[in-house]
Amino acid sequence: MTTTWTDSHLDRMREKMDPFADEAAAGLIAVRDLRQAMQLLHFLARNDAAVDVSVNGVSLPPVLQNYFEDLSHFQFTKEEKGILDRASEIFAKYGPVITGVLGVRSLLKQYAHTKATNVLRMTTLLTEHVDRRITETFQFVLDVMQKGWYRPNMRGIRSIQKLRLIHALIRHRILNGMTPESQGSWDPAWGQPINQEDMIFANQTFSVEVVDGMAQGGFPLSEQDREIFIQAWVLIGKALGVDASLEPGSYSEAAALQQKIYERQFTMPNSNGPPLARALVKFLRDVMPFEADEKSIMTIIKYFDGVENYKILEDNLQLPLGESHPKLISHLHQKVGILETGDHVEGLNKMTKKELQDGTYPDPVRSKIMEIFMTKVLRTVFRHKRGSKSTSFQIDDALADRWGLPGNEGIPAPKEPPIDGEKKKHPIMEFFYKIGTWLMGLVVKFRELFAGKA
C-alpha cells in the first residue's frame, strides 16, 4: 500500500516542531547563572562521547541531562542495525562521490526552499560563516554514515543530539525576538521555524537527492542498495525527531513526498536562495584540486543535477548554467589534467583519437575518472579544513585510509595543529559561542520581564 501525503497534513506538519529538543533548549535557556550557561555551551561543544552529567564542576540542568541520557530514539532492532550498517558500507564505497553530490545537488535543493531559508536569513547565517556551515553538513553526514554510529561510544548519537538541540535553540531565538531587527520578525505564514515538513525535506535531500544524483552522475545503486540507503536515512530521521507520519516506506514513497514538498515550497520570488547558491559556488571553487573558474563549477552542477533540475537552478537560484563547458569528463581529463601518474583508469588507453576528440568516453572510463576527481576534491577539502580554527574534520581512520585523506598514511598532515591536539575544537563550538551571545541577551530579557512582574 502506497502512502500519500495531503496538503492539509503537510500544513499541520508546518506547525509542529520538535517538543523533545525544544524542552531541552528551554532548560538551557532557563539557566540564570550566565557563567554556568557559557560553561554548559562549552562543555556540550567539546564532548563527543557519552555525556558526564558533572564535569569540571559543570552540572547539566535535569531537563538537559534527561535529553542526553534518553537514548530511546536510538533503540534500533537487529534488522534496522543491519540496514544502517549496509548503508555505511555503501557510503564507504562511494563516499567521495556522495559528498560531492551533497555539495552540488543536495544543498542547492535546500536553498531553493523559499520559506525554510528564512531561518538562515533571520539568524544572519545567510552569508556569514558559509564555509563552516557547509563543512559542518559534511561532518554530520560522516558521523551518521560511520559503521556502528548508533553505539553509545560513537560520534553519531552525539552528533544527532547536538543538531536537534541547535535547531531547538535557533527556534527559541527566532520565536523570542532575538534576531537582528534589520531582518524583521518571523511570519506565521511560513509555519514554525525548522518545522516537521522542513525536517523531512532536509533529511531527504541527503537520501533521495543523493541516490538520484549518483545515478545521474554514472553511479547508480542497485534497487536493493537504493532501498537500504533510503531506509537508513528514514531511521536517521527518526533519531532526529522526524514525525512518524512522514516516514516513507520505500524509495518511490520518499521521492513522491519530496516532489510534493518541492511543488509546495519551491516558490518565487526567492530572495534568499541566490546568495546562498553564490556562496556555495565560491566554496566549491576554493576546494577544487585545480584552479577552477565558475564555468567549471556550473559544469559539475549540471552533470549531477540533470536537465530536469535546470529550471529550478536557473530561476530559483539564478545560477548561470549556460556558462559551462560542453562535456565535463573531457574538460577534467584533457583540459584540467585531473589524472596524475598512478591514477589508473582501465580502458582509457584503448580509446581512439576520435573518441577522445568527441568526448565519448565509455561509461566505466567516465565513472572512474569522476571517482578519482571526487576523491581529490574531498582530499582538498580535508587539507583546507583540517586543523582550521573554525572547522576541523573528524573521520573514522578506516575511511580516511581508504580515501587517502590528509593526516593518514601516504598523505602529509597539514602544518596547522592536528585535530586531536590540545587545541582541538569541535566544528560546532564556534556556533555554540554565537548562540551564547544571544542566550545572554535572552536571559537579560527574561530577567527584565520577571522584574516587571515583581
In this predicted structure, the answer to whether residue 393 has a pLDDT above a threshold of 50 is: yes
Nearest to 283 by CA among 103, 143, 444: 103
Q: How many CA atoms lie within 13 A of 12 on its CB side?
A: 7
What pLDDT does residue 433 have? 46
What pLDDT does residue 61 have? 81
What pLDDT does residue 52 have? 53
What does the alpha-carbon distance between residue 229 and residue 88 come to, in Å, rounded to a whole number? 9
Q: What percent of the chain has pLDDT over 70?
A: 81
Written as one string, the DSSP assignment of 131-145 is: HHHHHHHHHHHHHHH
What pLDDT does residue 171 have? 96
What does the alpha-carbon distance between residue 21 and residue 141 come to, in Å, rounded to a whole number? 20
**C-alpha separations of 49 from 43, 152, 160, 163 in Å:** 12, 7, 12, 15
Which stretch, 160-169, 219-228, 421-430, has highest mean pLDDT?
219-228
- Between the two ends of the chain, the Cα-to-Cα distance in Å is 59
The pTM of this model reads 0.87
Q: How many residues does the chain have?
A: 454
What does the alpha-carbon distance between residue 223 and residue 78 come to, in Å, rounded to a whole number? 22
Q: Which residue has the higher pLDDT, 281 or 414?
A: 281
Grid cell, residue 409, equals 598514511
Q: What percent of the chain has pLDDT over 90?
A: 68
CB 150 within 8 A of CB 157: yes
Residue 440 zone, left/alpha/beta (φ > 0; ψ -120 to 50; rest): alpha
Which pLDDT band, with edges at 50, 70 and 90, does 396 fall under?
Answer: confident
The mean per-residue pLDDT over the stretch 187-204 comes to 98
Grid cell, residue 275, equals 546568495
User: Which single residue is written with the C-alpha cell 514525525?
Assistant: 243
Q: How many CA atoms lie within 13 A of 138 on its CB side?
A: 28
**C-alpha separations of 453 from 32, 61, 178, 272, 441 in Å:** 17, 25, 21, 40, 19
Which residues have C-beta within 8 Å of that of residue 387, sequence separation ≥ 6?
A: 414, 415, 416, 417, 418, 419
Q: What is the rounded average pLDDT for all residues in the chain?
A: 86
User: From the CB of residue 233, how many other CB atoms can be counted at a distance below 10 Å?
Assistant: 25
Q: Which residue has the higher pLDDT, 428 or 364?
A: 364
What does the alpha-carbon distance between residue 440 and residue 41 come to, in Å, rounded to a whole number? 12
What does the alpha-carbon distance between residue 278 and residue 275 come to, in Å, rounded to a whole number? 5
In this predicted structure, the answer to whether residue 12 has a pLDDT above a threshold of 90 is: yes
pLDDT tens digit sequence for 49-97:
445 555 555 677 888 889 989 999 999 999 999 999 999 999 999 999 9
pLDDT tens digit sequence for 345-355:
999 999 999 99
Which pLDDT band, with edges at 50, 70 and 90, does 2 fall under?
Answer: low
User: From the CB of residue 323, how many other CB atoms can be counted at a distance below 10 Å?
Assistant: 12
Phi first, then psi: give them for residue 59, nearest 5 degrees: -105, 135
What pLDDT does residue 42 have? 65
User: Which single residue is written with the C-alpha cell 583540517?
Assistant: 386
Q: Which residue has the higher pLDDT, 54 or 323?
A: 323
> Strand, coil or helix: what is 58?
strand
Nearest to 3 by CA among 317, 234, 220: 234
- Burial class from Cβ neighbours inside 10 Å (0-12, 13-18, 19+) for residue 215 reads middle
What does the alpha-carbon distance between residue 287 and residue 271 come to, in Å, rounded to a whole number? 26
What pLDDT does residue 46 have? 56
What does the alpha-carbon distance between residue 439 and residue 433 come to, in Å, rounded to a whole number? 9
